[in-house]
Structure 1
Amino acid sequence: MRHILDHKLFNIRLGFIILCLYWLALFTGTHLPGDSVPSTGHHDKVQHFLAYFGLAVLCSLVIWPSPFAAQPSLAQQNQSPGEPNRPSPMKSLRRWFQGSLWRSSWLISVVLISYGAIDEITQAFSPGRSPEWGDFLADALGVISGLLVCFCVCSLCIGLVSCFAKPEQKCQGDTENRQPPASVPLD
């Protein structure tokens, strides 16, 4: 079963298209002139948090492999339909990101928090806007929270998939139907 974000539109993964559109909307929204945006007061920090939370979730959904999908072998990941043994730079980069959830989480957080800092700095060039440390902090907390939620959900899903993948093997910690050691006499 293919993940919904793995479907393609014009030979581009749908998840990547959604991520780019969201990121473009985020950039546009944070750089509109200050007088064209309604004042939200202290709710501005909540909006920053939620916007970057969503960005982190989308990035992790696009970059991390689906725990429910059968993972292709290394040769299949690099194989293009017309060119069997020629690795694509984007596929190699994506495979490197997927090497470890911790590594990709760290890299996503560095990229998105850096983007949040650049986003706040460049707001100084928009009329009626000014950079704020509070906004940057809300951006960073949104990124970290989004990645933590995705990491926990993904880890839980991987655990569930591994438990149900082979019905003849029980999960670790499953004490039901466990046989006693051979040296213990049964009464």
Structure 2
Amino acid sequence: MLVLLVLCLVPVPPQLPSTGWDKSNHALAFAVLAFLGNRAWPGRTAPVLLGLLAYGGLIEVLQSFTPDRFAEWGDLLADGIGLVLGEAVAQLLWRHVPRRA
């Protein structure tokens, strides 16, 4: 989460790994967070996803205070889509992986 925060607030660096589209970068980052959150706090889906969406909102608010970045509702929407996709992948994957005792 800290790395994501830094990447979202620093001036646009020359070459970072990217999907090629800002919105898909947001979706991918938040899908990973949702996937990890699913494993870290199993059974607490709603609080984890709502907390991560609030984190995405915080990032957008902080970006509005930077000279090189700006807040966009589309970014927050992409974050939300990524959260849903990450949770769906986690649910599908963990359904087929046996749990350890």
Normalised by the length of structure 1, the TM-score is 0.47
Q: Give % identity.
A: 30
1:59 corresponds in structure 2 to: 37
Large movers: runs of 4+ above 3 Å:
none
Pairing partner for 1:131 from 71, 76, 84: 71
CA–CA distance in 2 between the matches of 1:44 and 1:156? 32
**Could you state the TM-score of these two structures normalised by the residue count of structure 2?**
0.83
Query: Could you say if the C-alpha distance between residues 156 and 47 of structure 1 is closer, same or farther in structure 2, counting changes exceeding 3 Å?
Result: same
Aligned to 1:120: 60
Higher relative contact order (CA 8 A, sep 6+): 2
Paired with 2:46 and 2:96, the residues of 1 have a C-alpha distance of: 19
Q: Does 1:50 align with 2:28?
A: yes
Gaps of 5+ in 2: none
Structure 1's unaligned 5+ residue stretches are: 1-22, 65-100, 162-187
**Distance between the aligned counterparts of 1:131 and 1:53, measured in 2?**
20
Q: CA deviation at 1:144?
A: 1.1
Indicate the RMSD between aligned Cα atoms, in angstroms: 1.9
Decide which structure has greater helix share: 2
Correspondence list, 1:1-187, <5 A: 23-34=1-12, 36=13, 43-64=21-42, 101=43, 104-157=44-97
Q: Highest CA radius of gyration, 1 or 2?
A: 1
Q: CA deviation at 1:47?
A: 0.6
Letter in 1 for 2:23: K
